[in-house]
Structure formats: structure tokens, C-alpha cells
Chain A
Amino acid sequence: MTTLTMTRATLLKDLRMEWRSKDAINSMLFFALLVVVIFSFAFNPTAEESRRIAGGLVWVAFLFAAVVALNQTWARELRNQVLDAYRVSPAPPNALFLAKAVGNFLFVVVLEALMAPLFVVFYELRSVGPLWQLIVVALLGTWALVVNGTFFAALSIRTRSREIMLPLILFPISIPALLGMVDATTAILTGEASPDFWIKMLAVYDVVFTAVCLLLFETVLNAE
């Protein structure tokens, strides 16, 4: 039984459950939609201004929406104490973590794909830089958010106010990644600077934090 097989099985199970309940995706969509509409009413920016602020705006919407999904990640495992069934099995703990992280990644990517056209319409966005770079930043940035988010959500499952705990732990540790996402997005949208440094930084951040989370997850899973 390999980690990959178990990751796939757990991921498919989670996707099936999400497809049936739509808990995470509905709440994320609602939240992100709210941010887009309210900010567009509040700012009513010109196309030029939009390009300057969109980097921050987009990632604020996705970050908060992702937190909603991340809080749901382990809730399913706590209901009926199903997590115990996994813990007593010989399945590798990291398979569970990877499945949850990949699942969250897919949910947030779907959200980004659905919300991107709305951002373009509401903020009259047009990218000056190459579009493929935006896609790279979106993928790297989303992984940075979900890998840490999944880990810290697991860390806070045994705390009473876990929905408050998660952003409290996640946001400070995500500051370097958020900085990279926002600056890279703004650089690509405005075309005023090269986003290369920020993209590299995001890639390094992703590798480092994925490795650290994988190393520590078993301890977190078995903590009392």
C-alpha cells in the first residue's frame, strides 16, 4: 500500500463527499462573491487603478474564502470520530495530509477559475504582462495557502475555538507567501516590474513548507 494509492483513495472520497454536500465550495463562492461586489461598490476604480489594487484585492478574497474551506477540511473527519478509524489503520499519515491538501487546492482553484471572469468584469481588468505568468502565480500561491492551511487546520482541530485559531496561526506564517502573491500579481497586471523574483520565492516557499508539513504531520495527527 503506497502513500500515493492512499492519497488517491482519500482524495476521491473527499471529492465525492464534497460533490454531495457542496459545503466548502458553496460557502467559498458566496464569500468571494461578496468581497468582489462590495469592493467594486466601495472603490469604483478606473482600469488603471484596478490594475494597481487588484493583486491585493484578488488575494484577500481568495485567502478568506480558502479559510472557509480549510475549516471544513477536518470537520468531516471529526464528525463520528472517523479520524480514529484512519489512525488505527496501517495507512500512512502523510497520505491523509496530501489528500486533504490536494483536495483543498482543487476547491480553491475551481473557485479562482469561477471568480476570475467576475474580477475582470467588475474591475475592468486587463493584464499588461503575460497571462501564463498569472496562472503560475495563482497555482503557486494557492498551494502555499492550502498546504499551510491544511496543516494548521489539523493542528487546531482539538482546540475549542478552532475557527478563530486557524486564521490566527495561518495568516502570520503566510505573510511571505501573501507578499509574493500580491506583488507578483500586481507586477504582471501593470507590467511595470518583473514578477520573476516573487515567483521564485513562492516556489521556494511551497517546497519548504510542504516538506515541513509532511515531516510534522504524523506528530500533529497523533497529538492528544
Chain B
Amino acid sequence: MTITEAHNPAGVTAPSLPLAMVLENLVKFFGRFAAIRGITASFAPGRLYVVLGDNGAGKSTLLRIVAGLMEPSQGKVELLGAGKIREVAHRIGYMGHAPLLYDELSGMENLRYFAGLYGLHDDRICKDAMSMVGLDAELSRRVGQYSQGMRQRLSLARAVLHNPELILLDEPFSNVDVRSAREMAAVLGQVRDKGKTIFVVTHQAALMEGIADEFVHMSAGQIVAREETARRADDQVKTTS
């Protein structure tokens, strides 16, 4: 594993490709409290980043800013080459800490509605997304009656059903049993292998060992270290040889 400096854009391995994300002196204040303190970093596409840090490190705030749910107090976010997040909203998938699903609707009804928000009206897309996360598309039960693990899986399906290039996941494994969490992590690996860029905020780093390309460590509103994984190092060796 190699540890790189936070401000060094370590992910830039393919200069010909546009960067998935560029953060420029990002600052976020809540009143007088600075949740994000001047983050400058860039992230290459097609990689799976795992964002780690203690509670209050600013991980979720950073993800919400990147998703366009929060305005930064200072600084700039550039996603997939666009300066305005709204311009590339259809290329971004976001899974929040909460499930972002309607309890009164079934899984398929939820996905049908959210697919419609992206201009997708083909039921097969929703069925494929459900089977990808290991859920039965025929399940007529309402989401309110789902277990926590099933909700998380469906939430992941919702975040990726429009085939986004950049996927932002906030605590996708919280309240999920170990087996389901491993399955979800494997799904994320498969999605990354299709060329998608994924950011996973989690406390369960062990789950992402062998799947993640880079661990991004945050503390007190800053990226303090970026650590390439053995998996990425192996890939680079293979590419060179």
C-alpha cells in the first residue's frame, strides 16, 4: 500500500480521461462550525474510493455537497467535467444515510417512480436493478414491511438503476447483516468493473478490503491521507508487465 498526500491528486493515472471529481478549496460552515475545512483533491474515474473517518469528520457533509444537496460555503466542485452539478445530475447516483424510499409503495413501484425521474420508463431496468441487489422484483410487499437489509439493498438499486457514471453512497452497510453487506460490497465491485466511479462512506473498512481501489481518510473536515490498496497496486503491476 502506498500513502499519498491528501492534496496530491494520486488518482490521476490516466490523464487523457476527464477526472470524475475535482474539489477546490472546499469549505462548509454550519453557523460558526467548519464541517469541511478547505479540501482540495481530484479523483480519477473508474475507481472505487472508500471514505473513512470518525464521526463528525465531515464525510457525509462532503458527500452531500458533491451530490448537490448542500451548497459549499466556499470553493468549487467539478463533477465529470461539469462545473454545475445540475448539468450532470442524470450521470450521478446518490444513496443517502436514510433509505430515500417510500414506505407505502412496493419495491418495484418505488423503482418505477425513481426511474421516471431520469426519463426511464422500461420495467426491465427496474427488474434488473432489483435482481442485481438480490431482491425479488415480484415481491408485492410494501417497503415499510421490508427488513433494514432489504431496504438498504433496494436503496442501492435505486441509486444505480439509471446507470450513473458517478455513484455516491453514504453508509450503505449500516444496519445490514455481515453476509448481506459482503454481497452488497461485491455488487459495488462489479459496478466499478464496468467503469463507474464509486465513493463509499463507511465505518466498515474491512468489508471493502480487496474491492476498494483507494481509502480516503478524513479527519476534522479535511482529507488527511489517501491510501492506494493492494488491489490497485496489483492492477498497476499487471498493466506495466
**CB of A18, distance to nearest CB on chain B (Å):** 9
**CB of A15, distance to nearest CB on chain B (Å):** 11
- Inside 8 A of A88's CB, which chain B residues have their CB? 67-69, 89, 92, 94
Using known A-B contacts A89-B118, A90-B118, determine if residue A82 contacts B101 with beta carbons closer than 8 Å: yes
Tell me the dominant secondary structure on chain A's binding face.
helix
Within 8 A of B (CB), among A57-93: 76, 79-82, 84-91
Q: Is A9 an interface residue (CB 8 A)?
A: yes
Q: Is B205 an interface residue (CB 8 A)?
A: no
- Whether A20 lies near B96 (C-beta < 8 A) is no
**27 cross-chain CB contacts under 8 A:** A1-B119, A5-B116, A9-B117, A10-B113, A16-B109, A17-B105, A21-B104, A80-B99, A80-B101, A81-B100, A82-B101, A82-B102, A85-B94, A85-B96, A85-B101, A85-B114, A85-B117, A85-B158, A88-B67, A89-B90, A89-B114, A89-B117, A90-B86, A90-B89, A90-B90, A90-B117, A224-B71
Using known A-B contacts A89-B118, A90-B90, determine if residue A81 contacts B105 with beta carbons closer than 8 Å: no
**CB of B163, distance to nearest CB on chain A (Å):** 14
- Whether A84 lies near B96 (C-beta < 8 A) is yes
- Inside 8 A of A79's CB, which chain B residues have their CB? 103
- Whether B89 lies near A85 (C-beta < 8 A) is no
Within 8 A of B (CB), among A2-34: 5-6, 9-10, 13, 16-17, 20-21
Binding site for B on A (CB under 8 A): 1, 5-6, 9-10, 13, 16-17, 20-21, 76, 79-82, 84-91, 222, 224
Q: Is B70 an interface residue (CB 8 A)?
A: yes
User: 15 other contacts beyond A9-B117, A17-B104, A80-B99, with CB at 8 A cut-off?
Assistant: A5-B116, A13-B113, A16-B104, A20-B104, A76-B104, A80-B102, A84-B94, A84-B98, A84-B100, A85-B96, A86-B117, A87-B68, A87-B69, A89-B90, A90-B119
Task: A6 to B94: give the CA distance in the assembly, Å.
Answer: 20
**CB of A121, distance to nearest CB on chain B (Å):** 35
Task: A88 to B166: give the CA distance in the assembly, Å.
Answer: 12
**CB of B220, distance to nearest CB on chain A (Å):** 21
Task: A91 to B116: give the CA distance in the assembly, Å.
Answer: 9
Using known A-B contacts A88-B69, A224-B70, determine if residue A80 contacts B117 with beta carbons closer than 8 Å: no
**CB of B143, distance to nearest CB on chain A (Å):** 8
Task: A90 to B158: give the CA distance in the assembly, Å.
Answer: 14
- Residues of chain B at interface, number, CB under 8 A: 29
Counting from the closest, the 8 A-B pairs by CB-CB distance are: A89-B117, A81-B98, A1-B119, A90-B89, A85-B100, A91-B117, A90-B90, A17-B104
Residue of B at shortest CB range from A81? Answer: B98
Task: A1 to B102: give the CA distance in the assembly, Å.
Answer: 22
**CB of A78, distance to nearest CB on chain B (Å):** 10
- Inside 8 A of A85's CB, which chain B residues have their CB? 94, 96, 100-101, 114, 117, 158
**CB of B89, distance to nearest CB on chain A (Å):** 4
Task: A9 to B94: give the CA distance in the assembly, Å.
Answer: 21
- Inside 8 A of B103's CB, which chain A residues have their CB? 79-80
- Whether A84 lies near B69 (C-beta < 8 A) is yes
- Inside 8 A of A1's CB, which chain B residues have their CB? 118-119
**CB of A51, distance to nearest CB on chain B (Å):** 42
Task: A89 to B158: give the CA distance in the assembly, Å.
Answer: 11
Residue of B at shortest CB range from A78? Answer: B98
Which one of A5, A6, A81 has the greatest number of beta carbons of chain B within 10 Å? A81
Within 8 A of A (CB), among B47-100: 67-71, 86, 89-90, 92, 94, 96-100
Residue of B at shortest CB range from A23? Answer: B104
- Whether B102 lies near A76 (C-beta < 8 A) is yes
- Whether B89 lies near A13 (C-beta < 8 A) is no
- Inside 8 A of A90's CB, which chain B residues have their CB? 86, 89-90, 117-119
